[in-house]
Structure 1
Amino acid sequence: MGKVALRRKKIIEILGSNPIISLTDLACLLDVTTETIRNDLKSTYLIDKVVQAHGSVALAHTTNARDVPYSFRKEVNSQVKNKIADQACQLISPGQVVVIEHNSISVMLIHLLSQNPELLSSITVITNSFSIMQYVQEKQLETHIIFLGGTFSLKQENSFGATTVAQMKNLRADISFLSPGAINEKLEITAYKEQDAELQKEIMKSCKRNVLLVEKNKYPEIAMWNVNLATDYDEIITELSFSSEQEKCLYEHKVNVITI
C-alpha cells in the first residue's frame, strides 16, 4: 500500500476515535498541509465516508458519527437540506397539527415556515427539537408548539428517551416529518440509537400522514436499530434516484416520491 493510501486509511482510523476534528489538527497529526488533507477528503476512497463543515471533518456514518454535535450536522449538505425543507413546507396546510422530529433539516423547515407567518400561526407544531424552540424564541414567531419533554442532550439539542415517547403516545397529528439514520437497498429504515427508533415508530402511529426526508449520504447504509420500511410512508422527499425495482415497489405501496 502506497504512502497516500496509508494516509487516507489513517484518516478513517483517527476519525474512528475522534467524532469530529478540525482540518488543521488532522493535518498536524499526519504531518501534512491542510491542502493535502482537503485533496484526500475529495478522493474516491474518502468522499462518501466523511462529511465537512466549518473547517472540520467527521465520519459520515456509524454510531460514532451520531455523536457529532448537531451544530455541525445541520450545516452538512445545507443546500440540499434547504430544497428538501422547501418541498416539505408545501405539504403543510393551515390549521394542521405537524410533528417535526429533531433532525438536521428541522430548523430549516421552521425557518422556511416563518416566511409564511399566516400559515405558521395557524398550525400546531409538536417537536422534541430544542433548536426549534430556540429559533422560535429568538425570532419571536407566532405559532403553537407542544414540546416533548424527556432526557435533554446538550450536544444534540433535543429531548429523548421513554418520557419523550410516552408523551408522543398521548398525542395525535395530521402530518409528520422524519429523517432516517440510514436507508439501504431493501428500503429498510434504521436508526443509530434505540431512542430515535422508538420515537419515530411512535410518531408514525400517531399521525395520519408521514413524510420521510432523505439525503443521499444516508444511502445505501444500515444502522443498528430497525424502524420500518420506506413503503410505510406516504411521501418521500429526497435527492436519491431509486432503482426501477425500488420505484416499482414504492409505487405499488402508493408512496409518493418527490425528487428534488
Structure 2
Amino acid sequence: MATVEEVARRQRAIAEQTAQRGHTSVAQLATEFAVTTETIRRDLKALEHQGAIRRVHGGAVAVEQHITTPSQQHPAGVHTEATHMRHRQAIGLQALQFVPKPQAEIFIDAGATTEAFATVLARHYLGQRWHVVTNSPAVAKIMCAANIPDVSVLGGTLRGHGKALTGHTAIRALQRLRADVAFLGTNAVESDRGFATSSEAIAEVKREMLLRARHAVILSESFKAHCTSEVPFASFEEVGTVITERPLPASPLRCLRDANTQVVIP
C-alpha cells in the first residue's frame, strides 16, 4: 500500500501533467504510474476537490486559466459551474436555428448541455407544433413546465445517475419514430474515433436517435475535444452540425471540415 507521501507525490505529478498537456486520461495515467484505474479515479476526485483539475469522462482536463481584476472574487484557474452554464446556454441559443418552423419532430438526448438547450427551447415556446421525444426525465420536466403539450419520454433503464433512459425498451420505441432533428450530447470529441460516450447502453440510444433523424446536431463544450471516453457512437461524417462555445483544437476541427460537418460557434 502506498504511503501518504507517495500518494501526494503522485497526485502532484498528475496535476502538473494535466496542466501541461491540457488533458489526461485515466488509462494513460494508470499505465504511467503503474497503478489501477480505480486508484487514478480516486486521485482525480481528490484533485478536483482541491481545484487543481476538472474531471471528465475518461480522465481530466486542466482548469481554465484566466486573468482576474481586483474586483473579481473567483480565484484564477477555477472554471466555475456558472461558466459552464453560460457556455451551455450560448450553445443552446445557437441550436434554436436548427429547429424547423413552425412544426418539428425533435429528439433531445440526455446530458447537461442538452438540458441547457431544453431550457432555451422552453423559453422560446410560443405555441409551435413541436413533438419532443427524449430519454431524459430532466428534459421532459423542462418541456412540460413550459406547457409544451406533445412530449414523449422513452422507457427503459435509468443510467448515469438517473439522467438517461437506455435499454431495449428505449431502442424499440425509437425504432417506431422519425425526427426532423436530433440534438445529442457527447462526452468526447476524438480526432481518431469521432464522438464518444461513457457506456455502450448510452451509446446505443444516441446511435438510434442519430439514425432516425434527418439531421443530427452535437451540442458540446469545447473542452470535450481534450477528452477521451469509452464508447464511440458516431463518426464525424454521420453528424451534420457541431455547436460549441469556442473554436476547437486544430486536429478535430480539421477532421470535422474533412467530413463536411458544419461547426457553429456563437
Q: Is 1:182 equivalent to 2:188 in the alignment? A: yes
> Alpha carbons of 1:180 and 1:201: their partners in 2 closer, same or farther (altered >3 Å)?
same
Checking the alignment, whether the CA contact within 8 Å between 2:109 and 2:134 is kept in structure 1 is yes
Tell me the equivalent position of 2:12.
8
CA contact 1:63–1:192 (8 Å) conserved in 2: no
Measured on the aligned residues, the alpha-carbon RMSD in Å equals 3.6
Closer, same or farther: CA 22–62 of 1 in aligned 2, 3 Å: closer
Q: Does residue 1:134 correspond to 2:130, yes or no?
A: no
Is 1:85 paired with 2:95? no
1:157-182 deviation per Cα after TM superposition (whole angstroms, max 9, x unaligned): 33111211121111101000111121
Cα separation, 1, equivalents of 2:14 and 2:188:
25
Structure 1: any 5+ residue segments left out of the alignment? Answer: 27-36, 51-58, 65-73
Paired residues of 2:130 and 2:148 also in contact (CA < 8 A):
no
Cα distance per residue 1:75-106 (max 9 Å; x no partner): 77111111111111121122110100111122
- 2:116 pairs with 1:108: yes
Partner amino acid, structure 1, of 2:56: A
Q: How does 1:155-170 map to 2 (within 5 A)?
A: 155-170=161-176
Q: Which moved more, 1:209-218 or 1:238-247?
A: 238-247
Query: Paired residue for 2:22?
Result: none
CA distance in 2, matches of 1:160, 1:19: 28
Percent identical: 19
Q: Which amino acid aligns with 2:190?
A: N
Q: 1:60 to 1:251 in 2, by over 3 A?
A: closer
Q: Which position in structure 1 is the counterpart of 2:33?
A: none
| C-alpha distance in 1 between matches for 2:11 and 2:230 | 29
Contact 2:110 2:164 in 1 (8 A): yes
Change (3 A) 1:208 1:106: same
Contact 1:15 1:21 survives alignment (8 Å): no
* Counterparts of 1:102 and 1:19, CA distance in 2: 24
The corresponding residue for 1:199 is 205
Structure 1 residues 223 and 243: alpha-carbon distance in aligned structure 2, compared to 1, 3 A threshold: closer
Q: CA deviation at 1:252?
A: 4.3
* Corresponding residue number in structure 2 for 1:143: 149
**3-state DSSP of counterpart to 1:117:** coil
The Cα offsets for residues 189-208 of structure 1, whole Å up to 9 and x where unpaired, read as 12210011111111111010
Please state whether the residue corresponding to 1:98 is helix, strand or coil: strand
Relative distance call for 1:82 and 1:234 in structure 2 (3 A) is same
Give the 5 Å matches for 1:1-260: 6=10, 8=12, 16-17=41-42, 37-38=50-51, 41=52, 46=53, 50=54, 59-62=55-58, 77-93=84-100, 94-118=102-126, 121-137=128-144, 139-153=145-159, 155-186=161-192, 188-242=194-248, 246-260=252-266
